[in-house]
Amino acid sequence: MTTPRTTIRIAHYAALALMTALAWAPAQARLPAPSAEQQRAADERKAKEAEAAKQQAEALTRVQDQIAARFGKGAQPSGTTQPGDVSQKAAEVRPSGPHGGTAPSAEAHSGEVQRR
């Protein structure tokens, strides 16, 4: 004895199976082989695409070589800078290595910091 709920479930599964079978059938169909004219046109299109790709690759190589020649030389000194053309900050001689300022930091004067 089947209940109405079971009958509806079986009907849904059957409908789902039928829709799957109907959707699968066209996917299994085979297309006819291309005619000689269609095959020739496809071959010509492939040859044109290959030639265009070859030309693009050659152009890319040429541009990359130009850029490498331009930037591969590195920085070349172009002469000396006149003393009047240098800013005052750049002209100041600074000692090498880490060095602090002459004014104490704000932390040193805060009330929260206690030295022990």
Cβ atoms 42, 34 nearer than 8 A: yes
**Residue-wise pLDDT tens digits, 46-56:** 999 999 999 99
Cα within 13 Å of Cα(14), Cβ side: 6
* Residue 94 clears pLDDT 90, i.e. is over it: no
107 and 113 in contact (C-beta within 8 Å)? yes
- Distance (Å, rounded) from C-alpha 99 to C-alpha 93? 13
State residue 103's pLDDT score: 63
Label residue 34 exposed, middle or buried (CB < 10 Å: 0-12, 13-18, 19+).
exposed
Q: Model pTM?
A: 0.38
* Percent above pLDDT 90 for the chain: 28
In angstroms, rounded to a whole number, what is the distance separating the alpha carbons of residues 17 and 11? 10
| pLDDT single digits (tens) 67-77 | 888 887 666 66
User: Which residue has 């790709």 as its token pair?
Assistant: 53
pLDDT tens, position by position, 95-108: 666 666 666 666 65
pLDDT band at 111 (very low <50, low <70, confident <90, very high): low
Q: CA-CA distance, 43 to 45, in Å (whole number)? A: 5
pLDDT at 51: 97
